[in-house]
Amino acid sequence: MSPRRRRVTTLVLVGVAGAGKSSVMAALQDRLAWPSLEGDSVHPPSNVHKMAAGTPLTDKDREPWLQHIAGWIGEREWHGVSSLVTCSALRRTYRDLLRNGHPSVWFVHLDAPKGALEARMKRRSGHFMPASLLASQLATLEPLEPDEPGWTIDATAPVEDIAETILERLRLP
């Protein structure tokens, strides 16, 4: 499926921890210079504490966080500004919340095998999400459905190649 180029585009990079959402966003940011929101940076302290302790979040934990991100998307749309967002958005209901009333939203699911994700998570430092939560994220993950705007990309490719693929599919420079 090819996206129809909209006047405003909100590109939401989704996937489990370790999929490369932040790295791909940085590569896209270098090319597009769009405002961006790192979803992990707006988690309430209670969510960060739970995850750091190795406790998976519940839907109730996630809802205010997702509402905050959806509000940020809405503000950019209202101002007519395209933007980039990282957000795990593991379930269809989470993605529906993000795009409800936001026609600019386009999802890119960064997908990688469990082994690659585990290796990435073990190598990174300074992040509150422990590798022990990967299994619960993979169990929660619901792939993009055919009626959702977006597509799935192999997250094991080099970051610059992933960014280039996204730009080509969006028909952006």
Distance CA 5, CA 169 (A): 10
Task: With beta carbons less than 8 A apart as the criterion, state whether 112 and 20 touch.
Answer: yes
What pLDDT is attached to residue 55? 81
Between vectors from CA 148 to CA 143 and to CA 153, what angle results, nearest 5°? Answer: 50
pLDDT in tens, 97-107: 999 999 999 99
- Total number of residues shown for the chain: 173
38-47 pLDDT tens trace:
998 888 888 7
pLDDT tens, position by position, for the chain (173 residues)? 444 444 799 999 999 888 889 999 999 999 999 999 999 888 888 877 887 777 877 889 889 999 999 999 999 999 999 999 999 999 999 999 999 999 999 999 999 988 888 776 677 565 555 566 777 878 888 999 999 999 999 999 999 999 999 999 988 65
Separation between Cα atoms, residue 36 and residue 131, nearest integer Å: 25
Range 68-76, long-range pairs (CB < 8 A, 24+ positions): 68/42, 69/37, 69/39, 69/42, 69/98, 70/97, 70/98, 70/100, 70/102, 72/37, 72/42, 73/10, 73/12, 73/98, 73/102, 73/104, 73/105, 74/101, 74/102, 76/8, 76/10, 76/35, 76/104
> CA-CA distance, 139 to 133, in Å (whole number)?
10
Output the pTM of the full model.
0.87
